[in-house]
C-alpha cells in the first residue's frame, strides 16, 4: 500500500478532497502539522518535518496563512523547502497547494510576491499549451475550475513549466522537472473548509472579498461538482507518477 506524506501548515486547511482521493485510490497518508506540533502518526511525540524521503511514495504540501518568505518566523518553511528538494532528487512526486506552491517556488529559486489584493472564490483558468500535453493536467481539458484564496503569487521560477493561467496572477499552476507540481488554486477545498477559514480569519478575507459572505453557497452549488471531478483527476494522475510500488 502506497503511503504519502502531507505537510499541513494550517489546521483549518486539511487534505479535504485530496485526502479523499488518496484514500479512494487505496493509499494512506501521514499528516504533519508543524505549527500545531502534531503528526497523525506520532500524536504524543511530534517528530518535526522529516529530513528524508524514507518510504513515502510522494509529498503533498498544503496551504496556510503565512508567507513562504517568512522563514525567520516559521522555521518549518525552510525545512519543507529542503524536504521538497530531497523528494525531487529522489524522483518522487511532489504536489504543492497555494502556500505549498509558493514554498516550491522558493525551494527552486523563484520569487513569491504580494499581490494587489486577495484573490478568493471560484475561478475558471486556462490550461496552457504545455499543460494540455502534460501527463497530469492534460485530462483536465482546456480549462480548470477551482477555488482561490491567496494574497501572494509566484514568478521567475527557474525551469518551471506553466500549466495554468488566469485570474489575478499569470502562474496558477506549474511543474518543475518530471514530477514536482504546484497549484496556486485549492483543489482540495469543500464549503466547510472555506467556512472554517472565514470563522478563523474573518475580515482578513471578507473585507477584500465580501462575496465570501454573500455568495459562497451559490458559488459552491454551481462549481463544486466540476471542481471535485478535476481534483480527483489531478490527484490520480499525479499519483501515477510515483515509482514506489
Show me where the domains of the chain are located. 3-240
pLDDT of residue 208: 83
Q: State the angle between helix axes of 191-201 and 216-240 in degrees (0 to 180), rounded to the nearest 10.
A: 110
Mean pLDDT of 193-204: 92
* pLDDT score of 205 more than 90: no
Buried b (16+ CB within 10 A) or exposed e, 4-43: bbbbbbbebbbbbbbbbbbeeeebebbbbbbeeeebeeee
Fold of 3-240: Rossmann fold (3.40.50)
- Alpha carbon distance 42, 131 (integer Å): 38
pTM: 0.97
pLDDT in tens, 45-98: 999 999 999 999 999 999 999 999 999 999 999 999 999 999 999 999 999 999
Nearest in space to 146 (alpha carbons), one of 47, 63, 22: 63
- Alpha carbon distance 194, 208 (integer Å): 15
pLDDT of residue 161: 98
List phi, psi (to 5°) of 108.
-110, 20
Calculate what percentage of the chain has a pLDDT beyond 90: 89
At 245, the pLDDT band (50, 70, 90 cuts) reads confident
Query: How wide is the angle at C-alpha 14 spanned by C-alphas 48 and 204, nearest 5°?
Result: 100
* pLDDT score of 242 more than 90: yes
Place of cell 488518496: 22
pLDDT of residue 206: 84
Output 100 or 169, whichever has higher pLDDT.
100
Cβ-in-10-Å burial (0-12, 13-18, 19+) of 2 comes to middle
pLDDT in tens, 149-198: 999 999 999 999 999 999 888 999 999 999 999 999 999 999 999 999 99
At 22, the pLDDT band (50, 70, 90 cuts) reads very high
Nearest in space to 192 (alpha carbons), one of 216, 159, 228: 216
Residues annotated catalytic, as ranges: 98, 186, 188
pLDDT of residue 229: 98
Which helix (H) or strand (E) segment holds residue 44: the answer is none
CA distances (Å), origin 234, targets 79, 85, 131, 229, 231: 26, 22, 12, 9, 5
pLDDT of residue 148: 95
Mean pLDDT of 117-145: 96
List phi, psi (to 5°) of 24.
-60, -25
pLDDT of residue 204: 82
SS3 content of the chain, % helix, strand, coil (to 5): 35, 30, 35
CA distances (Å), origin 168, targets 78, 119, 120: 27, 7, 10
> Helices marked H in 15-142 — which ranges?
16-24, 75-89, 99-107, 129-132
Mean pLDDT of 20-43: 96
Nearest in space to 105 (alpha carbons), one of 61, 167, 64: 61
Q: Which residues contact 186 (CB under 8 A, 6 or more apart)?
A: 63, 97, 98, 146, 147, 148, 149
* pLDDT score of 238 more than 90: yes
> What would the grid cell of residue 167 be?
485570474
Amino acid at each position: 500500500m502506497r503511503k504519502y506524506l502531507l505537510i499541513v501548515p494550517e489546521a483549518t486547511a486539511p487534505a479535504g478532497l485530496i485526502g479523499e482521493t488518496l484514500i479512494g485510490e487505496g493509499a494512506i497518508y501521514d499528516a504533519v502539522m508543524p505549527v500545531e506540533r502534531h503528526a497523525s502518526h506520532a500524536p504524543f511525540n511530534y517528530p518535526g518535518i522529516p529530513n528524508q524521503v524514507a518510504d513515502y511514495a510522494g509529498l503533498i504540501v498544503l496551504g496556510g496563512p503565512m508567507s513562504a518568505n517568512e522563514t525567520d518566523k516559521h522555521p518549518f518553511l525552510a525545512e519543507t523547502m529542503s524536504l521538497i528538494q530531497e523528494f525531487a532528487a529522489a524522483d518522487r512526486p511532489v504536489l504543492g497547494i497555494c502556500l505549498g506552491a509558493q514554498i516550491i517556488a522558493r525551494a527552486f529559486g523563484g520569487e513569491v510576491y504580494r499581490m494587489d489584493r486577495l484573490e478568493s472564490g471560484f475561478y475558471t483558468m486556462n490550461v496552457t499549451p504545455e499543460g494540455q500535453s502534460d501527463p497530469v493536467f492534460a485530462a483536465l481539458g482546456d480549462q480548470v475550475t477551482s477555488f482561490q484564496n491567496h494574497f501572494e503569487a509566484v514568478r521567475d521560477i527557474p525551469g518551471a513549466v506553466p500549466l495554468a493561467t488566469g485570474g489575478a496572477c499569470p502562474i496558477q499552476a506549474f511543474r518543475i522537472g518530471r514530477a514536482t507540481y504546484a497549484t496556486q488554486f485549492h483543489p482540495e477545498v469543500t464549503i466547510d473548509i472555506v467556512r472554517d477559514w472565514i470563522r478563523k480569519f474573518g475580515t482578513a478575507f471578507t473585507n477584500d472579498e465580501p462575496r465570501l459572505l454573500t455568495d459562497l453557497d451559490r458559488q459552491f452549488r454551481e462549481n463544486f461538482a466540476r471542481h471535485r471531478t478535476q481534483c480527483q483527476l489531478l490527484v490520480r494522475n499525479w499519483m501515477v507518477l510515483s515509482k514506489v510500488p
